[in-house]
Chain A
Amino acid sequence: MFEFANPDTLATIFAGLTALAIMLYAVLDGYDLGVGITLPMKNEAWRDTAIASIGPFWDANETWLVLGVGLLLVAFPKAHSAILEAFYLPATILLLGLILRGVAFDFRAKVHPEKKRLWDITFMTGSYIATLSQGFMLGVYIMGLEYTTASIIFGVFSALCVSAAYALIGNAWLILKTSGDIQKRAIYIAKRAGVLTFAGILAVCLINPLVNANVYQVWTTPPFAYFYAAIPLMCFTLFLAGYRALKMVDNGASDKEWLPFAITIAIFIGCFLGLALSFYPYVVPNSLTLYEAASAPESLSIIFAGTIIVVPIIILYTGFAYYAFRGKADGLRYY
């Protein structure tokens, strides 16, 4: 069989690909989950607009989760089993939430008008279940993938902050895709969600090195020791810039409606890189490295070959889809 590189290099490449897929998932499904959890229940027309803004995209966004979990499954089967067995219940609850919101999205447009509100509530509830369970799992993962009182408390806190982060990116998306009163509402929510997100990031920066010896090691030895101070600082700068951008869009001083969304993506990427660096080379905190968990190199090679050919094509047609639906969201029409 053909092999591109030695097993360890392949394992590193696949860790990078898996991380990339999960990060893209967090950003992309993040904004549509965020739109879901802050759905304006008081105004049906706003709901239609908000949902129209994510309509053509949510399906493909969710596929990044399948790819992320799929890559973990195929490239690091031992890690996949260990992580998902530990997360058996929260992961199932996440899936139930994703099922509810995914179908509610479609049912709402097709059922009897009086049932529409019920499916909207289902959409919002399902989105909440998804963001809360994802946040909870992230918190417990950071606490070393163990269930203790402390890790559960941190998990709950993390659930709230991750939901806030999704609300932030979701409303930043709405600022880009809507106008008028619904845009004002999105700015209002984004400001508040931003504060909670920031608090969450600070908490992770403080707690993560304290509970994980390996993480402490990473962030106190050069070269990453320099970054340790820089990352929260950078995040803080980004939040400040984001807040300014929100204000300027709000009072009409700027027409850069894409800026809050772009800044939020930068914040997401920064946080994700920080976390990934913290845990490297472990995939299961403190117990399993990615080299120990990797599949056979010939199988990874054949997936890698497919990935480098297909992913650029995926990016190309995804770009086409975003281009086709550029501009402000109008009502979704089936023809």
Chain B
Amino acid sequence: MFDVLILSRIQFAANISFHILFPTITIALGWLLFYFKVRYDLSKHPVWMRAYRFWVKVFALSFALGVVSGITMSFQFGTNWPGFMETVGNIAGPLLAYEVLTAFFLEATMLGIMLFGFRKVPGWAHTGATFLVAFGTTMSAFWILVLNSWMQTPQGFEMREGVAHATDWFAIIFNPSFPYRFTHMLMASALTVCFLVAGISAYRIYRGDDKKAPRLTLKTALFTAALLAPTQAFIGDLHGLNTLEYQPQKVAAMEGLWETEKGAPLVLFGIPDEDTKTNRFSLEVPNLASLILKHDINGELKGLNEFEGEHPPVKPVFFGFRIMVGMGLLMIAVAWWTSFSLKRRKRLSKLQLMVLIGMTFSGWIATLAGWYVTEIGRQPYLVSGVLKTADAVTPIAGSNVMFTLLAYLSLYVVLLIAYIRTLFVLANRAVKEEEYDLAVPGLGEQGRNQVKDAAQSAKSREDKRAGHHPNKHGTHEPQNAGA
């Protein structure tokens, strides 16, 4: 009943899935905030500070959730997976240590200045702190993806008495799958943030916020997404080719390819069946998988039959891959559609706003699905070819793990709901705010004039609207909005 292996795996999966949601936001949002701050420093236009002020709160909240859920990871390596550090600790250890030393302290310390230091330190120091926070989050991603990629495609080590010893750190860090996985993840973060920013900005506009800031952030996010979403598809393809070379069993599971085949079809949809080793209800395009992966319509692809007992469970990898790709294609379509309208008509239709609101967290779904593909796709190994997951698990009683798993799960559900609600509470509050605040330090004469002009035009808009719709103004009750 309480199988400690299964429970530990579910617990680790739950923890890391919850955790990755927040770094996925903070990595790219840090850079976006740096961009806002630099634009403000250059133009002194208060709208950039408005955008910064709103999104820095979202950053702070996401960062806090990322930190606290990340601490649990460093404990679980030891508590639930002692075999991991005992076998590959000589390699994982230094990588994790470097992450803490070069990334965690930097982000955590500079965050204080970034959040609360605008009035306490000179402008350049605040911009510098914002840069260092963004840099820190990226460094953190660098080290952890080095470790993860090494677990997928290990090299630069030798086994002595069952323990891995490092022989070449350069080879360990720049292992074959690392450049692809790192770029793919950074892009995933950027797209997640684009759709988050677009979604929340669209929500504000939908709720009648006609200030400049949400329109500006919407435009920034959508144009960036229109550029990056196709780039991500291209990088993803390269990543797939790399996986085919080093982990062909993973690709076979992704494609639902049971037997080695020349001119393999692309399975658009189907339900893989592990017992009969076939796909039920499958919809296939002949030769396309060979064409995509081998650039040859008759190229030979290895099937799962070549990896008896050494390949991952097919269903989650197969479906995860389709969810990720589907979400990616949807992102390209929506980003282009809305960017095009924005470029031509300078505004979005109600339908477009609603679609964007619906897509607010689409990046999370794509990112999680992608991680499931690559992580489940590594099974039954924890470190490919070196250590099996089952051999690393703790001897702790299963009932204890069951207890902690339930505690984590219930807490995470509550926190996730609170997080999403709070984003919308913040958005609703922003809808009601004044256009600009003259008290922003460092604004200067030029900035103050821009504020006054903006206030003037906002006031005339207000008067006009009040004339037409006397009852429409300011009656939204933000409390119900986040539900």
Contacts and interface: CB of A to CB of B under 8 A. Distances in A.
B82 A299 contact: no
A106 interface: yes
A99 B411 contact: yes
B333 interface: no
Interface stretch (A72-80, A138-146, A177-185): A72-80
Contacts of B169: 302
Contacts of A320: 113
B93 A91 contact: no
A332 B94 CA distance: 37
A298 B106 CA distance: 26
Contacts of B91: 299
A60 B112 contact: yes
Tell me which of A75, A89, A311 has the highest count of chain B C-beta atoms within 10 A of its own C-beta: A89
B109 interface: yes
Given A102-B67, A107-B61, A298-B90, A73 B79 contact: no
Given A88-B404, A334-B116, A69 B75 contact: yes
Contact of B97 (A70, A88, A102): A70
Interface residues of A, number: 63
Nearest to A72: B78
B94 A296 contact: no
Contacts of B90: 295-296, 298-299
A78 to B, nearest CB: 7
B283 interface: no
Interface stretch (B117-125, B223-231, B242-250, B308-316): B117-125
Given A77-B89, A298-B166, A111 B425 contact: yes
A62 interface: yes
Contact of A89 (B49, B82, B120, B403): B403
B351 interface: no
Contacts of B98: 303, 306
Contacts of A1: 166-167
Contacts of B422: 107, 110-111
Contacts of A303: 93-94, 97-98
A46 to B, nearest CB: 19
Nearest to A302: B94
Contacts of B121: 324
Interface in A264-311: 295-296, 298-299, 302-303, 306-307, 310-311
Contacts of B102: 306, 310
Interface of A: 1, 55-57, 59-60, 62-63, 65-67, 69-75, 77-78, 80-81, 83-85, 88-89, 91-92, 95-96, 98-100, 102-103, 105-107, 110-112, 295-296, 298-299, 302-303, 306-307, 310-311, 314, 317-318, 320-321, 324-325, 332-335
23 contacts: A1-B167, A60-B105, A69-B78, A73-B77, A74-B94, A77-B89, A78-B86, A81-B82, A81-B394, A92-B408, A95-B75, A99-B411, A105-B64, A106-B64, A107-B422, A110-B425, A111-B422, A295-B89, A307-B97, A317-B110, A320-B113, A324-B120, A334-B60
Given A56-B117, A74-B85, A74-B92, 10 more contacts: A59-B111, A62-B108, A77-B82, A84-B79, A85-B394, A102-B67, A295-B93, A296-B90, A298-B165, A335-B53
